[in-house]
Amino acid sequence: MPNRSFESLPMPMAYFWLLLREFGGTPEAEAALLEGTGVTQDDPAAEGTLGQTLALVRNLAARLPGGWALTAGSSFHAATHGPLGFAAVSAVALGDVDDDGDLDVVLGVAGGGAETVWSNDGSGTFTLLGSFGAGDTRALVLADLDGDRDLDVVVGNLANGDTVWHNDGSGSFTGTLQSLGSSTTVALTGADVDQDGDLDYFGSFGLAGLHVFLNDGDANFLDGGPVGEASSSFATVAADFDRDGAPDVVAAGGGTAGEVVELHD
């Protein structure tokens, strides 16, 4: 029997709303997908539970044509070292945090748990390298924020301001005194918005919209304010859509807000 206790874990609703928009199509289809979730279109919440998203996925699976199935690929197998993490993991970032040439893992934790850093031995076996922070994490940006060639991290928090952590080059992270944003972060996206050679980031704040934070090159960030017409934002992706050399951004609005494309001029 599945462990139902996990279904009460908090979870951002960005994927819930994206699935509903993608597969709803008609009022009848939307009603069928929402059945049993406890969510309505009139309540575009930023935060829900894992169980609510699972209920929508189960409804979606029931509506798929005959013969459709979700199966594990034959080329994948379970890792022999067991699961990573100890609590409600809500965000994952990959990067070589200890500068040994392979990809390590940083896990963000919801509900006040510490972020954990897992070192890869090069064969896909991970050991706990350390931990840092203690917030209600929903997103991570892992990048060289201060120009010293190792990977630092911005932690997006739902209940507190976003925090910035310096890497000493070995995968050990030290916090700064910065507390950024509106304490409603559900997603982060890194991009060099002002094209000065360092990484800035977009913060999705749910119903509080989309903001941009500008890096001074030493991982000190200034809130550049709201971005364009995005009245709400639950997920973002940044790319140069109009080929002018500057990063643009798509904000997924959630509920009935829809997606908003913001072109950087």
At residue 1, the pLDDT reads 37
pLDDT by residue (tens digit) across 183-206?
889 999 999 999 999 999 999 998
Residue 182, pLDDT score: 81
Q: How confident is the model over 116-127, as a mean pLDDT?
A: 91
pTM, entire model: 0.71
Q: Is the pLDDT confidence value at 139 over 90?
A: yes
Q: What is the pLDDT of residue 253?
A: 78
DSSP symbols for 148-213 = SSS-EEEEEESSS-BEEEEE-SSS-EEE-S--BS-S---EEEEE-TT-SSS-EEEEE-BTT-EEEE
- What pLDDT, on the 0 to 100 scale, is given for residue 23? 81
pLDDT tens digits, one per residue of 30-68: 888 899 988 887 766 667 887 888 888 888 878 766 544
Per-residue pLDDT at 25: 78
pLDDT for the residue numbered 63? 75
138 near 110, Cβ under 8 Å? yes
